Structure 1
Amino acid sequence: MSRRQPPRRGGRPAGGRRSGPPRSRGAGRTGQVRSGGSSRRSSGSGDLGGKQIEGRQAVRELLLAQRRRVHEIWISGELEGDDGVADIVAIAAANRVPINYVARSTLESAARSEAPQGVLAHAGALPAVDFDHCVAPRPGKAPFIVAVDGVTDPGNLGAIVRSCDGAGVDAIVLPRHRAVHVTPTVAKASAGAIEYVPITVVSGLPNALKRMRDAGIWVIGFDDAADRQLFDIGDLATEGVCLVVGAEGAGLSRLVRERCDMIVSIPMLGRVSSLNVSAATALATYEIARYRRPSS
């Protein structure tokens, strides 16, 4: 399909490598893990944070991914010998990661998420990847990107990352300012998906969207009041596409909305006017994935 310029429709903004077991509990659902090779690091983007990881699933995936160094793991002393953390202990031992059993009060005082589940890890920072790598064409696969505009709630970002992993998104683009990056709550809410989905940080999202358009990627924003619906994009879903989601309430910023090729809405059939941004992202990414399913 030749690239065209559909009308922009405005409105109210809305919103490594281990050869044998143990395996990630999510491996059967998400397929092969995307590696985090050093060639993809961005000299300009730097690190995303994520030096402290909390929660059993997030720590488990941190160990399994082997994308970055894990310095030590803290486990609440009352969980020593508990089956619920046995696989974490086994994976850590196999990778020579020290485990320290500490008092529950000590662990909870150090935690920065609401419920660390008695497990906390200290690791090297999660590396951001290069923006050019994210938008580069891949043989046999059109780019599938999600850009996040002004989302500051860590629970929402974590859920977005988890959905992106499940739907096969190639990369997530975050603005450097006025946005949350990787915190313990983000890592926990993502259930460890931050270890697998490449994330890049850009100094200006509008300029990044322009560069994607110049690279032949369709940029599709979401707005409650848009005339077009997500389900109307059709075959565009099989081309290079970037979905742009905005913070709840504020929605897409003006400059970001102006850089979109089209603005679509998610139809709401009940009385509530919109979805949570992470729920909207889940629905939108899986709609793209549905179109991209291999024909049987």
Structure 2
Amino acid sequence: MERPEPEEREDLLAGRQPVMEALKSGRAINKLVIAKGAREGSIREILGMARDKGIPITELERTVLDQEARHHQGIIAHVAPVAYVEVEEILEKAKAKGEPPFVLLLDGLEDPHNIGALLRTAEGAGAHGVVIPKRRGGAITSTVAKASAGAVEYVPIARVTNLVQTVGQLKKAGLWIIGSAMDAPQPYFRQDFKGPVGLIVGSEGKGISPLLREHCDHLVSIPMGGKVDSLNASVAGALLMYERVRQLQEGATTQQ
């Protein structure tokens, strides 16, 4: 009889990198649980940091950790759930840095690995925050945190009831809303990403919802030269986010 998969939870972090980044960022950790005998490599460093912070440490059989989380690498942290922010806080972050706001919106993505990968890319590409829906979207679980390689500790995340209303709010704040769509006539590399931008990435199967699509100022596509007609959502999102990085760096070089 196969062992049932552990339940996805928002109050657990599993894996060495996510736990390490949570410790570095100062996130509230209630306790650490390590597998018996797991004292090698980065776990030793993690345990040292935990002791310095006075975090309780429990050592249990690896099979017990297997029941709590997938791919835990011998360590689990019991944490406070991610502290979601308001959209206004994301915009304030951009203002405080003197930068045009750059916000990533995820519509209908439920695969935790895709969500985590997009959070990781958003953090690396300089996004000021990410918006996810309470419905038609996934929560920030241990699998999302692990796939993000710890980026959930650094990129502000807003979880909203209505993405269409949020898009309206961002438009009022001066952002241009750009959506990714397979059938859009304009390729992404011809779109101006340099100003205040809200970028929407939809799910692989359905893309951006029709109502949200109507509220986009621009729709862009990623040209495909093979038999497959679309890219993985996290790969597509990465291409679009780093096109913005490229344009900003090219503009900075031109001004020098």
Counterparts of 2:83 and 2:118, CA distance in 1:
18
Residue 271 of structure 1: how far off its partner (Å): 2.3
- Is 1:55 equivalent to 2:15 in the alignment? yes
Residue 266 of structure 1: how far off its partner (Å): 0.9
Identity of aligned residues (%): 38
Bigger mean CA deviation after superposition, 215-224 or 263-272 = 263-272
Report what 2:68 is aligned to: 110
Report what 1:38 is aligned to: none
Give 1:220-239 correspondences, 5 Å limit: 220-234=178-192, 237-239=193-195
Counterparts of 2:33 and 2:177, CA distance in 1:
43
Give 1:83-122 correspondences, 5 Å limit: 83-111=41-69, 113=70, 115-122=71-78
Report what 1:194 is aligned to: 152
For residue 79 of structure 2, the aligned residue among 119, 123, 137 is: 123
Bigger mean CA deviation after superposition, 188-197 or 265-274 = 265-274
Give 1:30-69 correspondences, 5 Å limit: 50-66=10-26, 68-69=27-28
Give the letter for the 2:124 counterpart. G
Bigger mean CA deviation after superposition, 56-65 or 265-274 = 265-274
Which of the pair has the greater relative contact order for Cα pairs under 8 Å at 6+ separation?
1
Checking the alignment, whether the CA contact within 8 Å between 1:50 and 1:187 is kept in structure 2 is: no
Residue 135 of structure 1: how far off its partner (Å): 2.8
What CA deviation, in whole Å up to 9, does each residue of 1:19-40 have, x standing for no partner?
xxxxxxxxxxxxxxxxxxxxxx
TM-score with structure 2 setting the length: 0.91
The size of the alignment, in residue pairs, is 242
Report what 1:8 is aligned to: none
Counterparts of 1:145 and 1:104, CA distance in 2:
40
- Is 1:271 equivalent to 2:233 in the alignment? no
Counterparts of 1:77 and 1:84, CA distance in 2:
15
Report what 1:262 is aligned to: 218
Counterparts of 1:138 and 1:241, CA distance in 2:
13
TM-score with structure 1 setting the length: 0.79
For residue 74 of structure 1, the aligned residue among 25, 33, 37 is: 33
Residue 50 of structure 1: how far off its partner (Å): 3.0
Residue 78 of structure 1: how far off its partner (Å): 2.2
Bigger mean CA deviation after superposition, 134-143 or 166-175 = 134-143
Query: SS at the partner of 1:135?
Result: helix
- Is 1:172 equivalent to 2:130 in the alignment? yes
Report what 1:40 is aligned to: none
Checking the alignment, whether the CA contact within 8 Å between 1:158 and 1:186 is kept in structure 2 is: yes
Counterparts of 2:208 and 2:137, CA distance in 1:
13
Counterparts of 1:84 and 1:195, CA distance in 2:
18
Residue 269 of structure 1: how far off its partner (Å): 2.2
Q: Which runs of 5+ in 2 are unaligned?
A: 1-8
Counterparts of 2:60 and 2:121, CA distance in 1:
33
Residue 270 of structure 1: how far off its partner (Å): 2.3
Q: Which runs of 5+ in 1 are unaligned?
A: 1-48
Report what 1:161 is aligned to: 119
What CA deviation, in whole Å up to 9, does each residue of 1:111-143 have, x standing for no partner?
1x3x11111000112111111122345153000
Query: SS at the partner of 2:201?
Result: strand
For residue 249 of structure 1, the aligned residue among 195, 205, 213 is: 205
Counterparts of 2:179 and 2:84, CA distance in 1:
23
Counterparts of 1:270 and 1:86, CA distance in 2:
47
What CA deviation, in whole Å up to 9, does each residue of 1:165-203 have, x standing for no partner?
111110001111121011111011011110000000111
Query: SS at the partner of 2:213?
Result: helix
Query: SS at the partner of 1:79?
Result: coil
Report what 1:37 is aligned to: none
Report what 1:138 is aligned to: 95
Query: SS at the partner of 2:137?
Result: coil
Moved over 3 A (4+): none
Residue 291 of structure 1: how far off its partner (Å): 1.5
